[in-house]
Chains A and B, each alone.
Chain A
Amino acid sequence: MRESKKLLLLTLVAVLTLCFGFTATANAKMVKKIDNFIFFLDQSGSMAMQHKDLGKKKIDLALDTMKAMNTAIPELGYSSSVFMFAPFEAESQPSVYNKAAMASAVGDVDTDFDIFNRRTALGNGLMDMDPVIAGLSGNTALIIFTDGKSNLGADPIAQAKALYAKYGDKLCIHVVSYADTAKGQMIIDEIRAMSSCTVVADATSLMAPGAMDKYVAEVFYKEAVAAPAPVVVPVAKETITFSLNFGFDKSAITDEMIPVLEQAQMILGENANTTFEVAGHTDSTGPEAYNQGLSERRAASVKNWLIANGVPAARLDAKGYGELDPKYDNTTSEGRKLNRRVEILTK
């Protein structure tokens, strides 16, 4: 009798050990990318209106997304919270992420509110969010669920920029878009364009099979095949591309090229310590030696214009590749057109 009791207890211990062991193994495959995340929901009047294309109230669509996202997020010890703006409210203060608690907070959001006199203050919402972010340690993902409309208060684009200026790489703003107006989409894209960390998603894109898991993987965690080395898809250096539509055999900069070059100059100004290669490319039409010379002259023209307009010469090299490094298919006119390009490559 005593022996069988002993056997029973030992079996119980073994089963428990295996159960916890498996849980640990499953979690060991995911390494968290961020320390904190905040669901930031737009509860302005426009969100209580039907989405023009999807025929459902935008706030209901957003809550569906938040619920699905909550299901897909692994419990890796994040700090999580749910806040709302227009007007600003805390639905759930920052605390250790727990699916059930998050589901309850999202489920408690009241969607039965008046449309009128409830204007969208996205910029003010971002200002109100600042003390919350300041109270968190580590890296934070601010996930905004909004239609992008902003018709009251501070400039949302300037406020998002101010947050990035304050927190730098410690903050990444992701916007899940429910925009059904051109202006709303523009404001969302402006915020997204501020950092390469952002992961793009909208109401429809996240409905595709596997899309939510992919989104969550990109925002929340990295996969690790065998601890401790995580498998990370390396991010290569950035490429800035433009076509200046030089005339036949021409390499001089004309007035019409200046707006594009000014934009390139602004991009180069984002990081004063980076150096670049200005690369000229042609299509395969014409003799190889001629194309080589032409691409060198064009790359040099762009480099000289950038230097003349304030980019330090030490940050720039110019190189012509002629027709020898086509990125596109030279057998089609569309491909040849794409091959006639100037690239600025981050070194």
Chain B
Amino acid sequence: MNKLLIIITLALSLTGAFLVSDGLATDVTPQSQVNVAVAAPGNANTPVTSKTLPVYLDEDLASKHADFSKFAKSKISSINRNHRLSRSRMEIVAQPDGSYRARFHSIDGGSLICKVRRSKSKTIPFVGVLSYKEKIFEAVAETPEACRKAEFIPVAVIPNRHIFSFKKGSWQ
């Protein structure tokens, strides 16, 4: 019976189930004294104008941001629709082993980040930067037709930033 108990103990130990990694064992507690990261203070002598107003207080910029965000969504639709390697125009290439590899590009609609800034120009008062992730998807199959129906997996992500200007009341 004792031998059996030893066998059981040994077998359970070998499963590793009761081993705790360093990460798990670490008791994480915040330090008591830290030099807090603080942004540079503003200059109290500089009068606040629409051009020196911090972004987070700028109502007009917020309104332009909302406007640019709408434009950005339609621009992304246009880019997806017109991309030379969009899903509907996917590239299918024969492989040396006789199979086919299909590839298309698509912008992840959930990855859009918009940023708007004032500029010094009178004719271009705002500039917008649209950040997004362009994903490349691929599938491999025996025939081109099977490729189109196959499950595509992302093989690369291209980070993009697209700069636009606001001129005469519209983004371009």
**A residues in contact (CB < 8 Å) with B:** 5-6, 9-10, 12-13, 16-17, 20-21, 23-24, 35-36, 77, 79, 93-96, 123, 127, 130-132, 134-137, 150, 154-159, 161-163, 165-167, 181-183, 185-187, 189-190, 192-193, 196, 198, 200-201, 205, 211, 233-243, 245, 255-256, 258-260, 262-264, 267, 326-329, 332, 334-335, 338
Is B29 an interface residue when CB atoms closer than 8 A count as contact? yes
Known: A127-B38, A189-B114, A192-B113. A6 touches B4 (CB 8 A): yes
Q: Are A236 and B26 in contact (CB under 8 A)?
A: no
Interface size class, chain B: 35 or more
| A-binding segment of B62-70, B90-98, B141-149 | B62-70
State the CA gap A167–B34 with chains docked (Å): 13
Write the nearest CB–CB distance from A95 to chain B, whole angstroms.
Answer: 6
Which of A16, A127, A205, A237 meets B36, CB within 8 Å? A127
Which of A95, A161, A182 meets B63, CB within 8 Å? A182
Could you list 10 examples of A-B contacts with CB < 8 Å?
Answer: A5-B4, A9-B7, A130-B37, A135-B34, A182-B62, A187-B56, A200-B110, A236-B157, A263-B163, A329-B84
State the CA gap A165–B38 with chains docked (Å): 10
By DSSP majority rule, is chain A's interface helix, strand, loop, or mixed? helix
Tell me the nearest residue of chain B to A188, going by C-beta. Answer: B113
Which of A35, A190, A238 meets B55, CB within 8 Å? A190
Question: From residue 111 to 134 of chain B, which have CB atoms closer than 8 A to chain A?
Answer: 111-117, 119-121, 123-124, 127, 129, 131, 134
Question: From residue 58 to 82 of chain B, which have CB atoms closer than 8 A to chain A?
Answer: 59, 61-63, 65-66, 69, 78-79, 81-82
Known: A135-B34, A157-B54, A328-B82. A200 touches B156 (CB 8 A): no
Write the nearest CB–CB distance from B31 to chain A, whole angstroms.
Answer: 4
Q: Are B56 and A157 in contact (CB under 8 A)?
A: yes
Which of B131, B159, B163 meets A260, CB within 8 Å? B163
Write the nearest CB–CB distance from A93 to chain B, whole angstroms.
Answer: 7
Which residues from chain A contact B127 at a C-beta distance below 8 Å?
Answer: 259-260, 262-263
Q: Are A334 and B56 in contact (CB under 8 A)?
A: no
Tell me the nearest residue of chain A to B14, going by C-beta. Answer: A17
